[in-house]
Structures are given as structure tokens and as C-alpha cells.
Structure 1
Amino acid sequence: MHPDKFKQVAGLPSAERHAYFVRKVADTQEVWGLHHDGWATAQLDGKVAIPFWPEAAFAQACASGDWEHFQPRAIGLDDFLAKWLPGMANNKQLAFVFPVPQGSASIAAPDDLLMDLQCESEQYE
């Protein structure tokens, strides 16, 4: 990824990064997480939040601190929609959408993110 593109997209406000995430994931059919003996998680208001990114380079940029030994790993969109998001909803977990090293992230209920991705994916059919 070109450094200028990375800087421009990472610098977007969290709501615009959320929209970018939805468009990019629907287009590439994959979601990125960080994995090392399990998936990276964060604590938000007493709930477990799982971070997701639209591209490996953005996930890699966040692989520091508590996640320094983690590596980007792709999740197929079909699997994400059919298994991940429903499972997260059942476990009362949140989606930490497109965090960046210096900045905030969009927090989404799994059902809301599922709806966003399904609506966007329909435009590609």
C-alpha cells in the first residue's frame, strides 16, 4: 500500500473509516484481524471488543503494545457474516471497527455491522 494512501485513510474520522471498512470489505470479500495464540481483543466499557481492519497493512500498524506479537490474518467475508458476527452477538461482544495507532475507532454492535456489510454486499451482486 502506498504510504500516502495509508496516511490519508488512517487519518479519516472514525465514522468515515467505518464507511471505508464496509466498502472495502464488501469489495475484497475479506476482513482482517490480529492473531497470536488467539485473536486480539480489547476491553471497552467492561465488554470484549474484537478489532477488525479492511486491509492487512492497517492491522499490522496496530500490532504493538499488547498486540506486539500478533500478525494480520484474513477472515473470509462469508465466514465473518455467517459465524463471527452472530457468535459475537451471542457472546455480547463488540466489533472494534478499523482502529488506528493514533486515534479512535468505530464501535459497532455485531448485528449493526452485519446489516451494514449485507447492505453494501448487495450492491456488488
Structure 2
Amino acid sequence: MSTPLEANQVEAIQGYDAEKRYKYLVKEVVANREIWILTDEHGCVMLNTDYEDCVPVWPNKEFAESWATGEWEDCKAESISLNKWHSRWTHGLEDDELAVVIFPNQDEDGLVVYPDELDFELKQQARKQNQR
């Protein structure tokens, strides 16, 4: 379970470029053992790029909630345990031919990665943390 972030922390992290937000997400998700999505009455919110249908993910509740504006204001931030992500979501997204958009913010799109790439990065980070 993550500790709520202060407003100044949220603002500083929102200013990171897409690559730095990806690194931040991987560390936070492993440290807190949860990843955040947005849901509505139809299920998980999706984004579309020119080439991929994607599920956006965030490292903390505050960032997911900050995305829930405008047409998405009725969406709710929902956490998924890291274990459930590894055991169900990675394979489910692959089976549905969906990509993952990492930590988009209002100013910039996030990096688009394949579910197995994100899974690999999360497992690598977990190994690093366990070696400490």
C-alpha cells in the first residue's frame, strides 16, 4: 500500500519526461506491490494510438485520478496487485493484442510497451530490490 503523495511531489513527477516516468512507475509499482488503472461502467479504460489499442497504467492513485477529467470524470482509479498483474493481466492483455501505455499525463503521452516488456521490467526491478 502506497503512502499518499504530497501535491509538490505529484507536480514534480508529472514534469518528468516519458522515459523517466516509466522508470519511476517500475520502481513504485514494485515497491508498493500495486499498479493503477482507471475503470468505468464498461471496465478498464482504453486509449488508442495510431498503431495500438492500449491500457493506460499509473504508479500511484493520485496520478490515475488526475487523468480522470473531462470525458473520463466518471472513471475510478483502481489498484491491481502486482501478483495479479503478473498472473492474469500480462497474459490477458497479450491474448487481446493490447499494449500498455505507461503513465500518461495531461501534457505528454506515455511510452507504449507490450505487456511482456513491462512484466520483464517489473520482475527485474523486484530482483534488484530483493538483493538489497
Shorter-chain TM range is: over 0.9
1:103 to 100, 108, 112: 108
TM-score (ref. length: structure 1): 0.95
Structure 1, unaligned runs of 5 or more: none
2:31 corresponds to 1:27: yes
Q: CA deviation at 1:57?
A: 0.2
Paired with 2:62 and 2:17, the residues of 1 have a C-alpha distance of 18
Paired with 1:66 and 1:96, the residues of 2 have a C-alpha distance of 19
1:124 partner SS: helix
1:80 to 65, 85, 89: 85
Paired with 2:40 and 2:97, the residues of 1 have a C-alpha distance of 22
TM-score (ref. length: structure 2): 0.90
Sequence identity (%): 23
Counterpart of 2:65?
60
1:11 to 4, 10, 15: 15
Mean CA deviation greater in 5-14 or 58-67: 58-67
Name the Cα RMSD after superposition: 1.1
Tell me the alpha carbon deviations over residues 52-103 of structure 1, each in whole angstroms, 9 at most, x when there is no partner: 0000000000001332210101100000011101111121101011011121
Mean CA deviation greater in 13-22 or 58-67: 58-67
Paired with 1:36 and 1:112, the residues of 2 have a C-alpha distance of 26
The letter of the residue matching 2:38 is L
The letter of the residue matching 1:67 is W
Paired with 1:46 and 1:24, the residues of 2 have a C-alpha distance of 28
User: What number of residue pairs does the alignment pair up?
Assistant: 125
Q: CA deviation at 1:46?
A: 4.5
Counterpart of 1:120?
125
The letter of the residue matching 2:46 is T
2:48 partner SS: strand
Structure 2, unaligned runs of 5 or more: none
